[in-house]
Amino acid sequence: MSDMAIVFVQKKKYKEFLPFLDFIESKIASLQNINDSNQEATLIESLAQELLMETKKSLEYKTDQGKLIIKKNTISLTHNRLYVGNKGTKEIAITSISSIHLSKPGIKAGRIRFFIEGSLQETKYQAYLASENELLITTPNDYRTMYEAKEVIESLRLHHSEKLYQALSKHTMTASPADEIRKYKSLLDDGIISEEEFEKKKKELLD
């Protein structure tokens, strides 16, 4: 018998302990899920960092319907002709992706779809045909593959957004008073700010 074992002499005591056993097991399962999530997040970040550090490196994720290739600045979608008639590869800049939709396969095929910033084109949903900005997902394994791909791309999108923000912030900090006055004069000419607001800002910059 283990040194950690709990022995119940009476059946009644055992039944009273069962709710606590369920609670302990649920806590253990919860901790396991947290541990798995942390390991997954670490893997995703590691893959993204590899792409950011090595310009020529790429990651390839295949499904029955095609493949997705991720690089530092772009993704590429290639479709099997069995599913879609167009040939070749569609390349998309990561900075142009506004959102990513991922759905599980069920009665209908799931899909990973990339929405492009500024695109107004709407594609009618078709159960087993993919548009040029998406790949179909027909198996649970394909879904797991594309889930990892999506998380890597989201990590790269975050990196590029932060880099752009830092560049804009740096430009703002290094801009001369004359540059700032010209910017506000342009806003005045466009009617976005009033003459009074422009003069006030001009005075602040010249003081």
Residue 3 scores a pLDDT above 60: no
In this prediction, residues 140-145 reach a mean pLDDT of: 92
pLDDT in tens, 26-40: 655 555 554 545 666
Tell me, what amino acid is at 203? K
Q: Each residue of 24-51: b (16+ CB within 10 Å) or e?
A: eeeeeeeeeeeeeeeeeeeebeebbeeb
pLDDT in tens, 166-176: 555 655 555 67
* φ and ψ of 97, to 5 deg: -80, 120
Give pTM, 2 decimals: 0.59
| Closest listed residue to residue 70, CA positions, set 58, 62, 79 | 58
Q: Are 97 and 157 in contact (CB under 8 A)?
A: yes
Q: Where are the domains of the chain?
A: 59-171, 175-206
C-alpha–C-alpha distance, residues 132 and 78, integer Å: 8
Q: Are 63 and 80 in contact (CB under 8 A)?
A: no
The mean pLDDT value of the chain amounts to 74
In whole angstroms, how far apart are CA 57 and each of 9, 72, 76, 198? 64, 8, 13, 49
Q: Which CATH number does the domain 59-171 belong to among 1.10.10.10, 2.40.10.170, 2.30.29.30, 3.40.50.620?
A: 2.30.29.30
pLDDT in tens, 79-124: 876 555 555 688 888 888 889 999 998 888 898 999 887 655 555 5
